[in-house]
């Protein structure tokens, strides 16, 4: 049986959360690109495209903050 210290376990947890954050950021960047492409194809107004992009950015930031809060909480 492999034993790992509590610090190693926390490090692995943080590494996994960082990896997850990067994946989430990548997904949201793809979503933003998709929305902009849709805006071009559907000829959405510039205001509609900006609104959709801002909402996506707000959601991405909120998810990032939630994950970072969880990391900080688990460090204590």
User: What domain range is 62 assigned to?
Assistant: 21-75
pTM of structure: 0.47
pLDDT value for 63? 86
Give the integer Cα–Cα distance in Å for 72 and 69.
Answer: 5
Angstrom CA distances, 61 to 6, 10, 14, 66, stand at 29, 24, 18, 9
pLDDT value for 18? 84
Report yes or no on 49 lying in a domain: yes
pLDDT value for 1? 54
Splitting the chain (76 residues) into consecutive groups of 10 residues, what average pLDDT does each group show?
69 83 87 81 75 86 86 76
Report yes or no on 13 lying in a domain: no
Report yes or no on 16 lying in a domain: no
pLDDT value for 55? 87
Report yes or no on 3 lying in a domain: no
Report yes or no on 14 lying in a domain: no
pLDDT value for 53? 82
Number of domains into which the chain is organized = 1
Report yes or no on 15 lying in a domain: no
């Amino acid at each position: 049986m492999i034993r790992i210290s509590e610090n190693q376990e926390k490090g692995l947890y943080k590494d996994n959360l960082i990896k997850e954050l990067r994946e989430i950021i990548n997904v949201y960047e793809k979503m933003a690109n998709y929305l902009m492409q849709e805006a071009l194809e559907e000829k959405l107004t510039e205001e509609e495209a900006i609104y959709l992009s801002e909402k996506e950015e707000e959601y991405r930031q909120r998810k990032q903050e939630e994950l970072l809060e969880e990391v900080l909480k688990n460090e204590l």
